[in-house]
Amino acid sequence: MAPILQLKGITKQFPGVLANDHIDLTLNQGEILALLGENGAGKTTLMNILYGLYQPDEGEILVNGEKITIHSPTDAINAGIGMVHQHFMLIPVFTVTENVMLGSEPVKAGDFLDRPKTAAKIMEISSQYKLEVDPNDYVKDLPVGVQQRVEIIKLLYREANILIFDEPTAVLTPQEADDLFVIMRSLVKQGKSIIFITHKLREVLDVADRIMVIRRGAVVGEADPKQANRNKLAEMMVGREVNLVVEKDIKKPGDVILSIKDLVVTDQFKQVMVDKVSFEVHAGQILGIAGVQGNGQTELVEAITGLRKSVSGEIKFKGQSILNEPPRKITELGSAHVPEDRQADGLVLPFPVAENLVLCTYYKEPFSRGVVLQYEKILENSEKLVQDFDIRTPSSLTTVGSLSGGNQQKVIIARELSRPIELLVASQPTRGLDVGSIEYIHKRIVQKRDEGCAVLLVSPELDEVIELSDRIAVMYRGKIIALLEAEEVAKETLGLLMAGIVPDKIEKPQGQRVVETTF
């Protein structure tokens, strides 16, 4: 029997990048094939080609041994291919039923939607695969894990046989991820075939039947998860030996720099997102906040940095209250902020690197005198920081928008860390970056801590938090449900905490802790 899916020599060129370089891939009926590679390796491009969102420059696609062409998602759906996208393709203000039926709606009396029919089908699928979804819920009211199951139902509703999961665990707690793996297993048992795209080694080893590694757009090797070696896989992905354990001395924390007490913050719909949170960060200490995205971290960081008004509570920076103070005042007291969404918040993409590097200090000497900007000084500063922080840019006048993600982030890091600061608030500082940039940024953060700066690190990547932090706080539904010394807690315990389950006793890590690559 022919394999259910075959890709032969798929090549895709983007301006300046060869995203896919003659990739061959075979997927057999009833297996989970993991596609492993770091950010920017070309995994998502390949899958978008398969799903008809991009057209390949070269190569062919065979389904059940037959050559097909896929020009649009409709073609892919007709060929039995379905995809769970990394960013969910769900419409928040629609119900589950509406989301599922969209595009292949059953109708009656001409064009009127037959909602009950779809709802019944959803119930049926839901019970067959144990997905537990209520068709009448609005998607915006559902937790992320359930939203993902809605995405899966969308595929099953369309009777897809080949399911592509693109980085499905990025938004899940470790426990939710385990649930997902159970579902994936049950899917292949019932005859479906799965391509699982990820950069996380643990998951690959846990769930895949076969592993294919790609790097810089090309296949670099295959592996069997039963025999694969963790370090070996990491090396295949990155192309060199990776040392992700940051050298870090144990340091005695200094004075309290940031102290937060009973802080309450709401979102724009007046929902309480930060619920009576209290903690302290000391000089020379990294406090990591672990938690699945959307549990109030964003609002917490925005409240601390002055970007969002708090409802009540207390925020003190070096003993001075900064509650509901404007961002500039907080910055001037000596705090720095690496924002969660670097393109939306941290940079003005059409402006040159030089202007972005003075975005928070342009109004002060020496960059301006009175109201007049001093471009000579601004450029001097830029040349220096480009050197010091190894920002790869053609010149200081290049627009930031044309740099790579890693270099954009370095612009922010350079701007924030080059100021004399006593507090660094870093929110997802390495999101979506390649390993080289991650290593560099981690090093810089630890260096700042060693210089005596207090660091508040927020990241949904548990491994990043464990790796860098001296203390770890776990945030769940707006509350800090645990505050622990980093050395004294096992990763599994943290995973449970992130899902809101407080174990009876905190388990200590046993032996050498395995820190997973977080790229």
Partner 1 sequence: MGKKDLEKQDIGKTILEELTGGEPKEKRQKRGIWKILQIPALAILTGLIIGAVLIMATSFDVYDAFKVSLWKGLGTAFAEVGEAYLALITGSLGNPVEIVQALLYGDALDFRNAINPILESLVQSTPYIFAGLACALGFRAGLFNIGVEGQLFIGAAAATFVGYSLTGLPPYIHMPLAFLAGALGGALWGMVPGLLKATTGGHEVINCIMMNYIAYRFTTFLLTGPMSRPGTGGMPVSPIIEKSAQIPQFFKTPIRFHLGFFIALAFAALVWWVLFKTTLGLNLRTVGTNPRAAKYAGMNIIATTIIGMAASGALAGMAGANEVLAVNRSMAIGLSAGYGFDSIALALLGNSHPVGVIFAALLFGVLKNGATKMMVVSTIPIDIVTILQAVILIFVAAPAIIRSVYRLKQPKVEAAAIMLSGWGGVK
Partner 2 sequence: MAATSTSIQRVRISDISPARKISTGVVEVLVALFIFAVFARTVSAGSITTFVMTPGGITTGQMGNWVIPSQLTLYLLAALSLVIGLFQLIRGFGKITNLMVGLVFLFFIFSFLTWQAADKSLNLAGMLSSAVQLAVPITMGSFSGILCERSGVVNIAIEGMMLMSAMVGALMGSLTHSAWLGLFFGVLSAVLLAALHAVLSIKYKIDQIISGTVINMFSAGMTAFLSQKFLQTRQELNNPAMFTRIEIPGLAEIPLIGPILFNTNFFVYLMFALLIILQVALFSTRWGLRVRSVGEHPKAADTLGINVIRTRYMSVLLGGMVAGMAGAFFTLGSVGRFEEGMTAGKGFIGLAAMIFGNYTPIGALGAGILFGFADSLGSKLSLLGSAIPSTLMSTAPYVITMIVLAGFVGKGHVPAADGVPYTKE
Rule CB under 8 A: choose which of 346, 406, 460, 495 binds partner 1. 346
Cα 431–432–434 angle (5° rounding)? 115
Residues 6+ away with beta carbon under 8 Å from 415: 356, 357, 358, 359, 360, 385
419 is a site residue for partner 1 (CB under 8 A): no
Return the axis-axis angle of helices 174-189 and 491-498, rounded to nearest 10°: 90
**Which H or E run includes 166?**
strand 162-166
331 is a site residue for partner 1 (CB under 8 A): yes
**Cα 428 to the chain's mean position, in Å?**
8
Instruction: Look at phi and psi of residue 446 and say left if phi exceeds 0, alpha if psi is from -120 to 50, else beta.
Output: alpha
For residue 393, the partner it binds in partner 2, partner 1, none, with Cβ less than 5 to 8 A by kind, is none
User: Which 265-324 residues touch partner 1, going by CB under 8 A?
Assistant: 305-307
Work out how close the CB of 63 gets to partner 2 at its nearest, in angstroms, rounded to a whole number: 17
Return the axis-axis angle of helices 405-417 and 435-450, rounded to nearest 10°: 10
112 is a site residue for partner 1 (CB under 8 A): no
Q: Binding segment for partner 1 among 128-136, 143-151, 289-297, 359-367 (CB under 8 A)?
A: 359-367
Pick the closer one to partner 1 by CB: 327 or 500. 327
- Sheet of 335-338: strands edge to edge? 335-338, 423-427, 454-458, 286-290, 471-476, 479-485
Residue 363: C-alpha distances to residues 121, 198, 373, 440 (Å):
61, 44, 8, 30
**Contact characters 460-489, partner 1, x per CB under 8 A:** ------------------------------
CB atoms within 10 A of CB 247: 7
Looking at residue 481, the DSSP 8-state letter turns out to be E
- Sheet of 17-27: strands edge to edge? 17-27, 5-14, 58-63, 66-68
φ, ψ of residue 142 to 5 degrees: the values are -95, 145
Output the six-digit token pair for 124.
């049926």
Amino acid at 40: G
Q: Computed from CA positions of residues 22, 23, 26, 27, in that sequence, does the dihedral angle turn out positive or negative?
A: negative
Q: d(Cα 109, Cα 238) in Å, to the nearest integer?
A: 57
Nearest Cα to 120, choosing from 98, 130, 137, 135?
135
**Contact characters 2-21, partner 1, x per CB under 8 A:** -------------x------
For residue 449, the partner it binds in partner 2, partner 1, none, with Cβ less than 5 to 8 A by kind, is none
Q: Computed from CA positions of residues 413, 415, 418, 423, in that sequence, does the dihedral angle turn out positive or negative?
A: negative
Rule CB under 8 A: choose which of 272, 373, 481, 515 binds partner 2. 272
377 is a site residue for partner 1 (CB under 8 A): no
Pick the closer one to partner 1 by CB: 141 or 376. 376
26 with 6: CB under 8 angstroms?
A: yes
Pick the closer one to partner 1 by CB: 215 or 308. 308
359 is a site residue for partner 1 (CB under 8 A): yes
Pick the closer one to partner 1 by CB: 193 or 335. 335
Work out how close the CB of 357 gets to partner 1 at its nearest, in angstroms, rounded to a whole number: 12
371 is a site residue for partner 1 (CB under 8 A): yes
129 is a site residue for partner 2 (CB under 8 A): no
Looking at residue 102, the DSSP 8-state letter turns out to be T
Q: Total residues contacting partner 1 (rule CB under 8 A)?
A: 39
Rule CB under 8 A: choose which of 10, 36, 47, 142 binds partner 2. 142
3-class state of residue 9 by DSSP:
strand
**Contact characters 98-117, partner 2, x per CB under 8 A:** x--xxxxx-x---xxx----
125 with 68: CB under 8 angstroms?
A: no
Rule CB under 8 A: choose which of 131, 212, 354, 498 binds partner 1. 354
Pick the closer one to partner 2 by CB: 270 or 505. 270
Rule CB under 8 A: choose which of 21, 31, 137, 325 binds partner 2. 137
Pick the closer one to partner 1 by CB: 191 or 370. 370
Q: Binding segment for partner 1 among 157-165, 181-189, 221-229, 344-352 (CB under 8 A)?
A: 344-352
Residues that bind partner 2 (CB under 8 A): 48, 51, 53-54, 72-74, 77, 83, 85, 89-94, 98, 101-105, 107, 111-113, 132, 137, 141-143, 145-146, 154, 173, 175-176, 179, 266, 269-273, 275, 311, 477-478, 499-501
* Contacts with partner 1, residue ranges (CB under 8 A): 15, 305-307, 326-329, 331, 337, 339, 343-352, 354-355, 359-360, 362-363, 368, 371-373, 375-376, 379, 395-397, 399, 401
